[in-house]
Amino acid sequence: MIDDAIRVLAGDCTVIAEGDDRQEYRGRVTTIVKPDNTVLVHDIDGYQPVAWLTRADSVSSDRRDGFTLVAKKDTQTLRIAAHDQDGFAHYPSSAAGTPVGTCPDCGGALVRSNDVHCVGCGDRYGVPADATIRDDQCDCDCGLPKMRVERGLAFNVCLDRNCESLDAAVREAFDREWSCPEPDCDGDLRILRRGGLIAGCEHYPECDTGFAVPAGVVDGECGCGLPTFETASGIRCLDATCERALEGTVTAESAADD
pLDDT 10s digits, 91-115 = 988 889 999 999 999 999 999 998 9
Which pTM value belongs to this model?
A: 0.72
Domain ranges of the chain: 5-92, 98-164, 173-257
Task: Tell me which DSSP letter residue 223 carries.
Answer: T
Task: Give Cβ neighbours of residue 28 (< 8 Å, ≥ 6 apart).
Answer: 10, 11, 12, 13, 43, 44, 86
Dist CA 43 CA 4 (whole Å): 25
Indicate the fold that domain 5-92 takes in CATH: Protein Yojf; Chain: A; (2.70.180)
Among residues 189, 187, 188, 193, the alpha carbon closest in space to that of 169 is found at 193
Q: Is the pLDDT of residue 256 over 70?
A: no
pLDDT, tens digit, 9 for 90 and up, residues 126-155: 999 999 999 999 888 899 999 999 999 999
- In contact, 49 and 32? CB cutoff 8 Å: no
Q: Is the pLDDT of residue 175 over 90?
A: yes
Strand, coil or helix: 172: helix
- In contact, 52 and 34? CB cutoff 8 Å: no
Q: What is the pLDDT of residue 176?
A: 96
Task: Tell me which DSSP letter residue 166 carries.
Answer: H
Enclosing H/E stretch for 158: strand 154-158
Tell me how long the chain is: 258
Percent of the chain topping pLDDT 70? 93
Mean pLDDT of 239-258: 53
